[in-house]
Amino acid sequence: MSQQNDKVEDVDLNQEWICWEYYRSQVKSTSHDPDIYIKDNKQIFKFQKLSQFTYIWKNSAFGDPLKVFADQHQKIFKIDDREVEIETLSIFKNGIKPMFEDEANKEGCDYQFLINKDSQDEYKDKVRKIWEYLVMNLIVAENKFKDIICGIRIADKVFKSQIRLEIWIKEEKNMDFYDYLKKAFSDLLKIDVKDQIFQVSHKH
């Protein structure tokens, strides 16, 4: 009996993506220095094939950001004798840094969605649903907004009481994209989110 080949041809996603972690120092600073900021953003993974993405999704915090955000022992550690914490996870197109000053971002904006933490931990289900939707539909799958999307980011930084999800685009505003997000998030969470999505310009 001949042995069947169970291997499935890998899928090219037609775009290389970089997974970033941002480390915030435990020593507070009152100024924003772009050079220090990008230095504290570290490239962790990159992928262009579906198999590469699947490995990252199953074996890292990019598949479940709450693995680090909900566990202080996971998110706080030392780099060069500095105590830092993982404040954001980002997935951006290769060649685009997750910062306003990047050439692809400086004329654009990001759409932000805030999820309040609650004592019953119900927020965790919301975070996972929205993050998975963004990754699977805006990063992995083909979509009509692919040319304007720069990347996505999730942040545990708003006074520690909220999780913030961000979708960065090249344009200063795009109402079609806003309406798309509003419908998608409302359908996922079974509520009207029209007043919970905020547009933030990157122009100085």
Spatial separation of the C-alpha atoms in residues 91 and 43, rounded to whole Å: 10
Query: Which CATH number characterizes residue 172's domain?
Result: 3.30.760.10
| Residue 1 in domain | no
Closest of 152, 108, 159 to residue 130, by C-alpha: 152
The C-alpha angle 65, 130, 146, rounded to 5 degrees, equals 100
| Residue 109 in domain | yes
Q: Are 102 and 95 in contact (CB under 8 A)?
A: no
Segments forming the whole domain that contains residue 93: 12-201
What pLDDT digit, counting tens, does each position of 45-71 carry?
999 999 999 999 999 999 999 988 887
The predicted structure's pLDDT at residue 4: 47
Q: Are 153 and 173 in contact (CB under 8 A)?
A: no
96 alpha carbon, distance to own chain's centre: 13
What pLDDT digit, counting tens, does each position of 74-94 carry?
677 666 777 788 899 999 999
Q: Are 115 and 163 in contact (CB under 8 A)?
A: yes
Helix (H, G, I), strand (E, B) or coil at 82: strand
**3-state secondary structure labels for all residues of 130-146:** HHHHHHHHHHHCCCCCC
| Residue 141 in domain | yes
| Residue 81 in domain | yes
Spatial separation of the C-alpha atoms in residues 85 and 25, rounded to whole Å: 7
| Residue 45 in domain | yes
One-letter amino acid for residue 109 of the chain: C
Q: Are 101 and 34 in contact (CB under 8 A)?
A: yes
Q: Which helix (H) or strand (E) holds 157?
A: strand 149-158
Q: Which two tokens mark 49?
A: 């094939």
E strands of 10-148, at which residues?
12-25, 41-49, 76-79, 82-93, 109-116
| Residue 5 in domain | no
| pLDDT at 5 > cutoff 50 | no
| Residue 7 in domain | no
Spatial separation of the C-alpha atoms in residues 73 and 85, rounded to whole Å: 10
Number of domains in the chain: 1
| Residue 25 in domain | yes
- What pTM, to 2 d.p., does this model score? 0.88
What pLDDT digit, counting tens, does each position of 119-144 carry?
778 899 999 999 999 999 999 999 99
Q: Label residue 204 by pLDDT band (50, 70, 90).
A: confident
The C-alpha angle 139, 178, 60, rounded to 5 degrees, equals 30
